[in-house]
């Protein structure tokens, strides 16, 4: 076991069991060219407008409203793929979603605290600080300080298990070590996201990593994304310690239903 904190094995073994908070489902909106696209293993050039059984079109507000009206979900994860590729953020789409009452956790490839603050001004309620674009841990610490740990989410970006961060800025040897460094720099919310699993219907990746981080990082709030196929996958992620779960394809295909979401959250319909 990799240890990040000064904690003995006996302290871990004899810690009183606490009930895990039920996870929150974050419907995913991947924006590209002003429309919602379907993720395909992180190969962003291949993403095409989403075809959904629950939404009438790929227009961002139409998709978001379908999530809210059909599934009772109004807190979204929005990945601005153009911004992740270096373009300015999609201010029009972000502003429309915020104005319609959605809480939006936005991943737009921020590299600095100034860029993170700018997303708040565009309507984001929370901002992703991604390993993929952050130059190093100092930049992460700046983002957390600027936004507060409750509004900053460090994204541990992987692709088929390979770290996507610049090794010159993130010299740690593995995903767990990078997560530990993010924790030391103030991140208290960490998203484990493997792009290769996005849209794959292959099941959630890195359950073991989630369990280790949940055990080692104390009060960390873990989120996870990629590969969710069914309610069983949601339960597996929750059991591994995820308190937030990103889902897209399974919602559009109705493989995860409102009943699944309500029962996972402990709500009666």
Predicted pLDDT of residue 266: 74
Query: Token digits for 160?
Result: 């088929």
Is-contact 213 178, C-beta < 8 A? no
**How far apart (Å, rounded) are the C-alpha atoms in residues 221 and 218?**
9
Domain made up of 21-265: CATH architecture: Alpha-Beta Barrel (3.20)
Predicted pLDDT of residue 81: 94
Predicted pLDDT of residue 123: 97
Is-contact 216 1, C-beta < 8 A? yes
Q: Which of 169, 205, 202, 176 is nearest to 190 (CA)?
A: 176
In a structure prediction context, what are the per-residue pLDDT tens digits for the chain, which is 269 residues long? 444 444 433 333 344 445 556 899 999 999 999 999 986 655 666 678 999 999 999 999 999 999 999 999 999 999 999 999 999 999 999 999 999 999 999 999 999 999 999 999 999 999 999 999 999 999 999 999 999 999 999 999 999 999 999 999 999 989 999 999 999 999 999 999 998 888 777 789 899 999 999 999 988 999 999 889 999 999 999 999 999 999 999 999 999 999 999 998 875 44
**How far apart (Å, rounded) are the C-alpha atoms in residues 31 and 227?**
19
What is the residue-wise DSSP string for 179-213? HHHHHHTT--EEEEEEGGGTT--S----HHHHHHH
Cβ of 17: how many Cβ atoms within 10 Å? 5
**How far apart (Å, rounded) are the C-alpha atoms in residues 49 and 37?**
4
Please name every residue paired with 49 in a beta bridge, in sequence order, or none if there are none. Answer: 37
């Amino acid at each position: 076991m990799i240890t990040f904190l000064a904690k003995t094995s006996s302290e871990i073994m004899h810690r009183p069991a606490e009930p895990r908070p039920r996870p929150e489902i974050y419907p995913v909106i991947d924006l590209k060219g002003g429309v919602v696209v379907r993720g395909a293993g992180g190969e962003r050039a291949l993403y095409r407008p989403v075809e959904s059984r629950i939404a009438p079109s790929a227009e961002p507000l139409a998709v978001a409203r379908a999530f809210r009206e059909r599934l009772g979900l109004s807190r979204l994860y929005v990945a601005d793929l153009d911004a992740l590729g270096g373009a300015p953020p999609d201010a029009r789409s972000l502003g429309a979603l915020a104005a319609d009452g959605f809480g939006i956790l936005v991943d737009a490839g921020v590299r600095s605290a100034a860029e993170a603050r700018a997303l708040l001004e565009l309507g984001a309620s929370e901002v992703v600080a991604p390993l993929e674009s952050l130059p190093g841990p100092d930049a992460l610490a700046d983002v957390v300080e600027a936004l507060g740990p409750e509004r900053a989410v460090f994204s541990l970006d992987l692709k088929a298990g390979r770290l996507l961060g610049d090794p010159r800025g993130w010299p740690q040897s593995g995903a767990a070590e990078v997560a530990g460094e993010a924790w030391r720099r103030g991140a208290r919310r960490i998203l484990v996201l493997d792009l290769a699993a996005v849209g794959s219907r292959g099941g959630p990746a890195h359950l073991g990593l989630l369990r280790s981080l949940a055990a080692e990082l104390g009060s960390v709030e873990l989120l996870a994304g990629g590969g969710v196929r069914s309610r069983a996958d949601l339960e597996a992620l929750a059991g591994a310690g995820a308190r937030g779960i990103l889902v897209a394809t399974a919602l559009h295909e109705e493989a995860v239903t409102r009943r699944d979401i309500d029962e996972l959250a402990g709500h009666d319909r």
